[in-house]
Amino acid sequence: MTANAPEATAVEVVDLAVTPLRELNGRLHELARDGAGPRHWRVVNPNGAHAVACGLDAELEVEIEGHVGYYCAGMNKLATVRVHGNAGPGLAENIMSGRVLVDGSASQYAGATGRGGLIVVQGDASSRCGISMKGVDIVVRGSVGHMSAFMAQRGRLVVCGDAGEALGDSLYEAHLYVAGEVAGLGADCVEKPMRDEHVEELRGLLADAGVDDVDPASFRRYGSARQLYTFKVDNAAAY
C-alpha cells in the first residue's frame, strides 16, 4: 500500500501547448482499461481545444486551467471534470454519470441528451441547455437561453437566474426549477405548484451542487401538461 501511495495522490500535469490532445485523451482512456495510473490530472493551456477529457470511463479528477471548446467532457462516466474557465457548445453531451463543473459560463446545448450525473455551471448557459436530457441533473447559477430543456425526458434543470423563450418546449417528465423570470414557456410546458416535497428535492440538489446561498423556496416549478404525447382515443382518426 505504501508503494502505491505516491501514484494515488500525485497530480499529473499535462500542457496542451506541447502535448497533443489525442495523447492526453488516450492516456485518460487507458485508465479505464487497466486501472493503473494517476487519479488526479491537471490540464494547462487548453486554449479553447475541442473534446478535452472526452469519453472518460474511470473515477478520475481532471482540472482544466482555462477555456475549452466544443464537447468538453462529452460522454463522461464516473469522472469529475472541472473547467476553470468557460466552455463551448456541447459541454458534457451525453453524460452518463460523474460530475462536470464549470467556473465560468457554457455555450449552447450544455448537457444535451445527458442520462445521469451532475453538471454545475457557475455562470450562464446559452440556448438549448439540457436539450433532450434523459436523467442528468443540471444546476446553472446564472441564466439560460431559449429552448432550454427542449424535449427533456427525465432529470432536473435548476436555473438560479432567468430563462429564455420556449422553456421546456415539448417537455416529458423532467423537473424544471427557475428562480428568476421566464421569458416564455414552450408547447405543453406549464407552471406547477411548488409543494414541500419539491422544495426538499431542490434543497438537496442545490446542496449537492455546492450552492448554499439560494433559497429553494424562492423558485418556481415547471413541468409537462401531458397533453402532447398522451394518446386520446377520441382523436384516433386524426393520428
**CB 82 within 8 Å of CB 65:** no
What is the number of other CB atoms lying within 10 angstroms of the CB of residue 108? 18
The low-confidence residues of the chain, meaning pLDDT below 70, are 1-9, 231, 233, 235-236, 238-239
Q: How many CA atoms lie within 13 A of 99 on its CB side?
A: 17
Give me the pLDDT at residue 5, please: 38
**Could you tell me which of 135, 130, 125 has the C-alpha nearest to residue 151?**
130
- According to DSSP, the β-strands at 220-224 and 189-192 are antiparallel
At 146-160, the pLDDT tens digits run 999 999 999 999 999
| Residue partners of 209: CB distance under 8 A and separation at least 6 | 118, 120, 137, 139, 158
Fold of 48-238: Pectate Lyase C-like (2.160.20)
Give me the pLDDT at residue 173, please: 94
Domain locations in the chain as residue ranges: 48-238
pTM higher than the cut 0.85: yes
CA distance 216 to 188: 24
Say which residue the cell 496542451 belongs to.
16
At 32-72, the pLDDT tens digits run 887 788 999 999 999 999 999 999 999 999 999 999 999 99
Give me the pLDDT at residue 3, please: 39
Classified as helix, coil or strand, 58 is: coil
